[in-house]
Amino acid sequence: MKAEWLRDAPIGRKLLFISLLTSGIALFVVSIVISARGAIEWRDRSLADMGIYAKVIGSNAASAMLFDDRNAANEVLSALSANPDVVDAVLYDNEGRVFARYSVPGHAPAMPFVHQGTHLFTVGQLIVSEPVQFKGEVLGALNLESDLHGLYRGLLRDIALTFLAAGGVFLLVTILFSRLQKTIVAPIVELADAMQGVSARQDYGVRVSERGKDEVGTLTGAFNIMLGNIQSRDAELVRQQEHLEAEVARRTASLTAAQRIAHLGNWEWDVVANTLHWSDEMYRIFGLKPQEFGATYEAFLQAVHPEDRQSVATCVQSALDESKPYDIDYRIRLPHGAERNVHAQGEVYRDEEGRPLRMVGTVQDITERKRTEEEINNLAYYDPLTGLPNRRLFMDRFRLAVSLSARSNRYGAVLFLDMDKFKTLNDTMGHDYGDVLLQQVAQRIQGCVRETDTVARFGGDEYAVLIEEVAKLANDASKRVALVAEKIRSALARPYSVKGHAYHGSSSIGVNMYCGSREDIDTLLKHADLAMYQAKESGRNAIRFFDPDMQLALEKHAELESEMRQAIAKQELCLHYQIQVGDGNVPLGAEALVRWQHPQRGLIPPGQFIPVAEESSLILDIGHWVMDDACRQLAAWGRKEDTGNLVLAVNVSAQQFQLADFIEKVDAVLREHKVEPSRLKLELTESVVLADVADVVAKMRRLKDMGVKLSLDDFGTGYSSLSYLKALPIDQIKIDQSFVRDIVSEPNDAVMVKTIIDMARNFRMDVIAEGVETEAQCEMLRELGCKSYQGYLFGRPVPLAEFESLFCRLRECRG
Amino acid sequence: MLAGVSKILRFAALCVLSVCIEAQAAPTGEYEVKAAFIHNIAKFVEWPAAATGAGKLRLCILGDDPFGGNINVLRGKQIGRLVWEVTRINAFADMKSCQVLFISASGHDGIGQIRKHINGSAVLTVGDTRGYAEQGVMVNFYLEENKVRFEINRAAAARAGFRIDSKLLRLGRIVSEQGGGK
C-alpha cells in the first residue's frame, strides 16, 4: 500500500520524501549520537567532579582526622552545601566507622556503602568513594552521594537543544529542497505533460523546450526527435492509409462493377453461426433488400424455387458432409413472383478436425444466358416462323423412326410437300403475306396428323411430315397414309384468308413408305421429294407415291445435265430460226431457238433440256452462247443487202437477266460482232420482270438506250399485271400461243387478245402473236389489230440454211 | 633462599610489633596521643633546609619525661625522609641540635632561658603546660572535653623560620605572645 503510494506519487513528492527521510534519519542518528555522547560526557564529568569534590573535601578533612577533630571534619563536610547536587557525604575512618557526616535536610540517609576508590551509579544517584590521604597515608574514605536529577535536567536540556537544532536543520532542508527540487522536477513535469498531451490529442507537432544539457535535457531532446520521427512516420502512414483506402475503394468499386456486369454475386456462409453475408449483387439477383433478408441458410432456401429447393439442400449437404463440389444450377423465385436461373458454386472451409466452418461462393444470374441458349436451341431445331421442327430435328426423328420401324416391323411414311405456285405468290404479294400463309399451312398440316407424328418445315414452302408406326402390312399402311395425305391435301386446298385477302392455294404431296433400314433416310427423303415433283408435274394439287420409274427419270435428268455441260464445249448446240412476219407476210426477222444436236439421241428440243439447264448455272452458259451465236448471225446477215434489216429475237432467261453485268455482256457481244443493236431483240419472260421491277426497269432502260429492242414473252400466262406493264420500257408484247390456239373457237381468248392488243396500242407497243398455225387464226388476229405473227403457218424453226431459203422465197413471193 | 626466609621473618616480626603497638595504644593514654600529635604536627611543619641536613628528626625531651614508653610510638616512623630520634636532655647545651624540643612541666622555670638559648635555631618547641604558648612555646597541648587539643604560637614559629601548614593552623588554637590567646 505504502510502496504503491510511493510508486504512484509524483516525482517531486517522491524526491522530497526520499530527501526528508534520509536527512531525517541522518539528523536523528546524529542527534542520538550527540545526545548519547553528551550523556556520557555529563556522566564522566559529574563522576570526575564528584571525585574531585571527594578528593578536595577528603584532603581538607584529612588533617581533622589526623587530629581526631570531628567538629573540624563536620565543618569541612558542610562546605559541600555549596553544591546542591551533593545530598550526602560520609567520612569513614579506616575501621569503617563514620567519622563525620553531612547530608541535606530531608535526605533519607540510606546511602549504600561503596568501597573506597570505586563509584556506584543508580537511577537517581551517584555515589563516589574516595580514600582520604595525608602525605601518602590513608586515613579513611569519603563517600559522596550526588543527586542525579540536576544532571538529568542538564542532559535533557542538551538533548532537547540538539533535537531542536536538528528539527531546525530538517525544516531548512525541507524548505531548501522543496525549492531546489523544482529545477529537476519542473522539466520532467513539463515533459510528462507534453507526453500526456501528445498521447491524448495525438498531436505530434508539439515540441518541448529544452533546458540545459543534463539527463532531462537529453531526454527532452530525444523526445523531440522521437516526436519528429513519429510525426513524419505518421504523415507517411496517413498518406499510405489514404492511398490504401483509395485503392480499396477503387478495387471495391471495380469489383462491384464487375459483379454487376457479370451478374455475379458472392456470398459467405458462417456454417457454425448460420449467418450469411451477401454482396450487393447477390441482393440484386435475388431481388431482395438487405433488411428484408434473414441472412440465414433457411432464408436463402426460402428464396430458392420450391421445385429446386431439395436439390440445392442436398448439394449443400453433400458439399459439407462429403466435400463434393458445390456446383449447381437452380431457379430462384423473386419476391414479386418472377423466376431467375442462377449458377452457383462454392467451397467449404474446415477446421483442423475437418468440421465445416465456412462456405464461400458465387451466384451468377444466368437467366439471360438460359434464354439465349433456349433460343439458340430452338433456332437449331425449330423453324422460327411456324414453330415447327426444322430439317435437322426432323432428320433426327426420322432416323430414329426408321430404326424403330426395323424393330417393330411396322411401316411408316415420309411426306414431302410444297405449296403450288407459292413463289409467285411470295413475289407478287410480298414476303409478309407469304409468311402468314406458311404459318396457316403449318397449322393445317398439324391439324391433320396425330400428335406423335412430326410436321417440319424445311424452308421456303417445303414441308415434311413423318407418320410413324402405321401398319405391318404394306397395303394397309399405304391405304392409311394415302388417307392422311388426302386429308392434308384437301385441308391445304381450302381457301385461305391472309391479311384480309382470300387466297386459293394447293399443294403437291410426295409420299415414300419405309420399313426397316433398306435405304438411308436421305434417300428416303429424296424419293419423297421426287414423288412430290411427280405430283407437281401431274398438274399440281395432287398426291404421288414414290415409284422407281420416277427415280429413273431423275437419273436421266442428272445424266442430261452432265452431258449438257459438255455440249457447249463440243459445239453440239445450234440455233434454229423461226420466221416472224408482218402484214402481208413480209419477213421482219426471226426468233433464234436453241437446239441440242445430241450425238446419240439426235436433235433435242429446248423444252427437254432448258428446264434442266435452268436448275443450274448452265442456263447462263447456254444463254451466252445463244447471244453470241445470234449476234454472229446478225453480223453475217448485215453484210448482205437482203438480210441487212432482219431483226433477231433471243430468249433471255431470268437468271441471265439478273446477272449484274448482263448489260455489259450484251454490249460486249454487240461490239464484238459489230452489230447494230436495234437488230437484236431480247425476249423476256414475265418471271424476269416480276423479280425486282425497279431493277428490271432500270436495266431495260439502259438496254433501250443502247438501242436494243425488248419483247415481253408469253404475255398473259403468268400473273402479269397490266398495271405495271405501263412502267416497262418494252417495244413489243408477244401474245402467248395458248391464247392464239383457241382464238377462233373461244370468244374469251379473243377478248383477252383484243384487250392485250388495245392496251399495247395505248402504250405504243407492238404486238406479235406466236403459235399462229392457221389462216383463220391469222385472219382473226389481223382483225383484232395484230400486225406481226409467228408460227407454223409461216414457218417452223429451222436451221439457218432452210431459214435463209424460206426468207428468199418469201421475198421473191412478195417481190 | 636465605633472603626469602629473612624477608618472611622480618614481615612476621613487623606484625608482632605492630600488634604490640596496637595493644599498647588501645587504652589511649594522654601521652600516647600527645606523642602521636607531635608526629602529626611535624608533618604540617616545614623545617628550614639546613636544620634537617642529617636526615634525622631529633625529639628532645627536656625535663621530666611524661611519656614513658608512650614515646615509642614514634620509633621507626618517618616524615618524608626524616627519621625520628628521641633524646632526653637536661642541659641547655644540647638544645640547638634538636629539631623538636618538648618542654615538660618541670622544665617550666626556664622558658625565657630556653628561648634565649635556642634563639636563631630551627627548633620547634612543644609543651603541655597551660600558658606556655603565651610564653613563646610554639605548640602547646591542652585537654578539652577529655580530648587532647593544641595551641599554636604563630609568631614564635615564624620567628624561628618555620612554615606551618594552614590546615594545622585551622585545627589548633592560635595564641599570641602577650595575654592569652583564644
**DSSP labels, A446-482:** HHHS-TTSEEEEEETTEEEEEEEEEESSHHHHHHHHH
Chain A contacts of B171, Cβ < 8 Å?
A: 63-64, 67, 69, 72
- B43–A135: do the CB atoms touch at under 8 Å? yes
Do residues A626 and A594 touch, judged by C-beta distance below 8 A? yes
From A53's Cα to the closest Cα of chain B, the distance in A is 17
Cα A25 to the chain's mean position, in Å? 86
From A59's Cα to the closest Cα of chain B, the distance in A is 10
- A67–B171: do the CB atoms touch at under 8 Å? yes
**pLDDT above 50 for B9:** no
Residue of B nearest to A71 (CA): B171
pLDDT of residue B3: 45
Which CATH number is A67's domain given?
3.30.450.20
Identify the H or E element spanning A739: helix A737-741
For residue A63, give the nearest of B80, B150, B171 by CB distance.
B171
pLDDT of residue B4: 46
pLDDT of residue B12: 43
**pLDDT above 80 for A690:** no
Q: Is residue A808 part of a domain?
A: yes
- Based on its alpha-carbon atoms, the radius of gyration of chain A, rounded to whole angstroms, reads 73
pLDDT of residue B6: 47
For every residue of B13-25, DSSP letters joined together read HHHHHHHHHHHHH
Query: Which residues neighbour A140 within 8 Å (Cβ) at sequence distance 6 or greater?
Result: A65, A91, A92, A93, A94, A99, A131, A132
Of the residues A146, A171, A196, the one at which a domain ends: A171
pLDDT of residue B5: 46
**Selection from A580, A573, A621 nearest residue A595 by Cα:** A573
Do residues B20 and B54 touch, judged by C-beta distance below 8 A? no
Whether residues A566 and A526 share a domain: the answer is no
Q: Is residue A568 part of a domain?
A: yes
pLDDT of residue A358: 92
Q: Could you give the CA distance from residue B164 to residue B141 in angstroms, rounded to a whole number?
A: 16
Whether residues A301 and A404 share a domain: the answer is no
Q: Which of A57-71, A642-656, B5-19 has the lowest mean pLDDT?
A: B5-19
Cell numbers at A312, concatenated: 440445392
From B165's Cα to the closest Cα of chain A, the distance in A is 10
Q: Is residue A205 part of a domain?
A: no
Q: How many other CB atoms sit within 10 Å of the CB of residue A486? A: 13
- B170–A72: do the CB atoms touch at under 8 Å? yes
For residue B40, give the nearest of A60, A66, A72 by CB distance.
A66
- B170–A135: do the CB atoms touch at under 8 Å? no
Whether residues A572 and A509 share a domain: the answer is no
Q: CA distances (Å), B127 to each of A138, A204, B74, B149, B172, in order?
A: 28, 120, 17, 12, 14
**pLDDT above 70 for A730:** yes
Whether residues A714 and A803 share a domain: the answer is yes
Query: Which residues neighbour B123 within 8 Å (Cβ) at sequence distance 6 or greater?
Result: B95, B96, B98, B99, B100, B101, B160
For every residue of B59-110, DSSP letters joined together read EEEESS-S-GGGGGGGTT-EETTEEEEEEEE-SGGGGGG-SEEEE-GGGGGG
Residue of A nearest to B34 (CA): A67
Chain A residues with CB within 8 Å of chain B CB: 60, 62-64, 66-69, 72, 134-135
**Selection from A321, A313, A314 nearest residue A348 by Cα:** A321
**Residue-number span of the structural domain to which A267 is assigned:** 263-371
Q: Which of A133-137, A458-462, A499-503 has the lowest mean pLDDT?
A: A133-137
Of the residues A171, A191, A216, the one at which a domain ends: A171
Q: Is residue A29 part of a domain?
A: yes
Chain A contacts of B37, Cβ < 8 Å?
A: 67
Candidates B33, B39, B40, B145, partner chain A, best to mutate (most A CBs within 10 A): B40
Three-state DSSP string of A476-507: HHHHHHHHHHHHHHHHHHCCEEECCEEECCCE
Residue of A nearest to B43 (CA): A135
Identify the H or E element spanning A186: helix A149-201
Cα A623 to the chain's mean position, in Å? 58
Mean pLDDT score across all residues of chain A: 86
Identify the H or E element spanning A423: helix A422-429
Which CATH number is A528's domain given?
3.30.70.270
Q: What residues 93-132 of chain B have any CB closer than 8 A to a CB of chain A?
A: none
Whether residues A84 and A136 share a domain: the answer is yes
Q: Is residue A256 part of a domain?
A: no
Whether residues A269 and A322 share a domain: the answer is yes
Whether residues A714 and A768 share a domain: the answer is yes
**Selection from A421, A424, A463, A428 nearest residue A442 by Cα:** A463
Whether residues A646 and A785 share a domain: the answer is yes
Whether residues A455 and A580 share a domain: the answer is no
**Selection from A466, A509, A505 nearest residue A487 by Cα:** A509
Q: Residue B148 phi/psi, 5° resolution?
A: -75, 130
Whether residues A12 and A79 share a domain: the answer is yes
**pLDDT above 50 for B16:** no
Q: Taking CA A447 as the corner, what is the angle to CA A441 and CA A452, rounded to the nearest 5 degrees?
A: 115
Residues B77-115: pLDDT tens digits? Answer: 888 888 888 888 877 767 778 888 888 876 556 777 788
Do residues A282 and A290 touch, judged by C-beta distance below 8 A? no
Residue of A nearest to B150 (CA): A67
Q: Is residue A473 part of a domain?
A: yes
- Total of domains in chain A: 4
pLDDT of residue A723: 66
Q: Could you give the CA distance from residue A311 to residue A110 in angstroms, rounded to a whole number?
A: 125
Mean pLDDT score across all residues of chain B: 76
Whether residues A616 and A467 share a domain: the answer is no
Winning range, highest mean pLDDT, from A186-190, A247-251, A476-480: A247-251
Residue ranges in A67-148 assigned as alpha helix (H): 70-78
pLDDT of residue A681: 94
Which domains does chain B carry? Answer: 28-174 (3.40.50.2300)
Q: What residues 152-181 of chain B have any CB closer than 8 A to a CB of chain A?
A: 165, 167-168, 170-171
**Bridge partner residues of A128 (DSSP):** A119, A144
Of the residues A126, A154, A171, the one at which a domain ends: A171
Q: Is residue A460 part of a domain?
A: yes
Helix axes A548-569, A521-537, angle to 10 degrees: 80
Whether residues A542 and A563 share a domain: the answer is no
Residues A431-454: pLDDT tens digits? Answer: 888 889 889 999 999 998 888 899
Q: What residues 19-78 of chain B have any CB closer than 8 A to a CB of chain A?
A: 37, 40, 43-44
Q: Could you give the CA distance from residue A78 to residue A91 in angstroms, rounded to a whole number?
A: 12
Average pLDDT over residues A659-668: 91
CA dihedral A529, A532, A534, A539 (to 10 degrees): -150
Q: How many CB pairs under 8 A join A and B?
A: 23
